[in-house]
Amino acid sequence: MRDTMLNYFKEVFGDTDGVKVFFAPGRVNLIGEHTDYNGGHVFPCALTIGTYAAVRLRKDRKLRFHSMNFTEKGIIDSSLDDLVYKKEDDWANYPKGVLWALGEHSYNVDKGFDIVYFGNIPNGSGLSSSASIEVLTGFIAKQLCGLDIDLIKISLVSQYAENKFNGVNCGIMDQFAIAMGKQDHAIFLDTSNLNYEYAPLELGDAKLVIACSNKKRGLGDSKYNERRSECEEALARLQTVVKIETLGDLSEEEFEQHKDVIKDEVLTKRAKHAVYENQRTIHAVEALKANDITKFGLLMNDSHISLQHDYEVTGIELDTLVESAWKQEGVIGARMTGAGFGGCTVNIVKNDAIDAFIDNVGKEYEEKIGYKADFYVVEIGDGPKEL
């Protein structure tokens, strides 16, 4: 892939003197959805697909961005002295936002660069292509400008960029999972305090299969921010009767004991999902440690049902993929992953059933929805690196 990126760079910028090539993964979350901004636990892993960049430091402060995924946009010009959100800069607002956020956190990026990006994550799939670009850009700035910044801080700066520059109130999960990825492990992360541990993801005779609905969704203009504010309102009402910082502080029993104070059916459902999903995630990791992959799969299924009925973020495309998956031989668990309203499902499927799974679910999906889904059998990989 390194040679491919150098060739791309040469096509766009003329030569490859002094060019370095970097990679950051995408991520999939196995369980713990919409808990990361509610102070709960998540369980994501980094993938071996992700975002590549070929980059050369400049002597001036100019920035020139190009993406092989959006060649029609050409080269997008900017400068370290003009890091403001511009609608016409489209995807380049993600790397620009990180460079801006580094400055806001007193990290001095004093030289511009020419950079070509290429992602092999399906666009709009919910496998975190935007967070992958963000963490990659932060890692490149660290390497090329000698910044004294660790990977956790890069993830926090990237989240800050997405929140404050691009206006999406995402939690920390995506950026953290990408920055801190470890091959063959998922990350059990407590988003309230960033305590984390690596859990070996030993699936035995099964693999992770991602099904991409091909229904595009944009986080910023979806109902993501609305769900977040609904949870904040439910939390504020609960805090009048119980001493908690986040919804993640509550057990299921405590929630049931105090939920009447919310006094709104929709807000109660949103809070219920956040509380129960957090506990499901804790139980799922315990099951994995006990080598009980069957229980892990059942908790994945329960997670989807909660996202469908209590959080209402699935939609016909994701529900069709998951409900079809549940009917297939060799499926241990299936659920939507990511923000919802399109994007992907994650499935644990026995090796000898994968081909039939892809055929059967793909056929049922196309018949019902009218266009194809794409399927990816994925491996679990490391965080960002220079190639």
pLDDT given for residue 170 in this prediction: 80
Task: Name the phi and psi angles at 374, rounded to 5.
Answer: -110, 150
**Mean of the pLDDT values across residues 30-50?**
93
CA distance 48 to 132: 12
What is 2-200's CATH number?
3.30.230.10
Active site (annotated) includes residue 15: no
Q: What is the pLDDT of residue 36?
A: 87
Per residue in 337-376, pLDDT tens?
A: 988 888 899 999 999 999 999 999 999 999 999 999 999 9
Phi/psi zone of residue 355: left (φ > 0), alpha (ψ -120 to 50 degrees), beta? Answer: alpha
Q: Which of 36, 114, 174, 310 is catalytic?
A: 174
Q: Tell me what the mean pLDDT of segment 314-331 comes to.
A: 96
191 three-class SS: coil
Burial, 156: exposed, middle or buried (Cβ in 10 Å; 0-12, 13-18, 19+)? buried
Q: What is the mean pLDDT of residues 89-108?
A: 95
Nearest to 382 by CA among 184, 169, 87: 184
Predicted pLDDT of residue 334: 98
pLDDT at 280: 97
Segment 153-166, tens digit of pLDDT: 999 999 999 999 99
Three-state DSSP at 276 gives helix
Lowest average pLDDT, out of 24-33, 168-177, 235-244, 269-278, goes to 168-177
> For the chain, what is the total number of helices (H) and then of strands (E)?
11, 13
* pLDDT for 220 beyond 50: no
- Give the per-residue pLDDT at 216: 67
CB atoms closer than 10 angstroms to residue 111:
16
Rounded to an integer, the average pLDDT of 285-297 is 93
pLDDT above 70: residue 124: no
Structure confidence by residue, pLDDT tens digits, 7-32: 999 999 999 999 999 999 999 999 99
- Can you read off the two tokens belonging to residue 158? 């990237």
Q: Which of 53, 93, 51, 89 is nearest to 73 (CA)?
A: 89
Output the average pLDDT for the chain.
93
Residue written as tokens 């003329």?
Answer: 14
Say how far apart CA 98 and CA 202 lie, in whole Å. Answer: 34
